Amino acid sequence: MAPSTLRTQLSVIEQLYQSARRLYQADCLDCLIAELKFDELEACLETFFITARNHGAQTAANYHPNWRVAYVFVKSCVQRLVKSHADTDMLWLLSMRLERLEKLFD
């Protein structure tokens, strides 16, 4: 991955952390991911998506790549954690919820 691409992706992930901080008035995204609090993670992603879409509408910028970076970041973290728990029911449930989010906001 090119350094400029990595910088851009890290910047988007930082924006996701800031969005979660504004939503919950706390620096909590790491805890939400670690504790698999999917309702709250879903709210964070939804808020991030709406903010990115609104910014895109105001500036004529394409918000979709930023949304994908944020979504893939959360998805990969959650999937790694769930796989380490070896709970197939939980893995299936979270996979379905992640898929629903992807379809809803993609």
Residues 24-81: pLDDT tens digits?
999 999 999 999 898 999 999 999 989 988 887 888 778 788 889 999 999 999 888 8
Separation between Cα atoms, residue 17 and residue 29, nearest integer Å: 6
User: pLDDT at position 103, please?
Assistant: 83
> What pTM was estimated for this model as a whole?
0.85
User: pLDDT at position 4, please?
Assistant: 87
Quickly count: other Cβ atoms within 10 Å of residue 80's Cβ.
10
Residue 23: exposure state from Cβ atoms within 10 A (0-12, 13-18, ≥19): middle
* pLDDT, mean of residues 70-97: 83
User: pLDDT at position 100, please?
Assistant: 85
User: pLDDT at position 27, please?
Assistant: 93
* pLDDT, mean of residues 86-96: 77
User: pLDDT at position 1, please?
Assistant: 77
Q: Residue 86: is its pLDDT beyond 70?
A: no
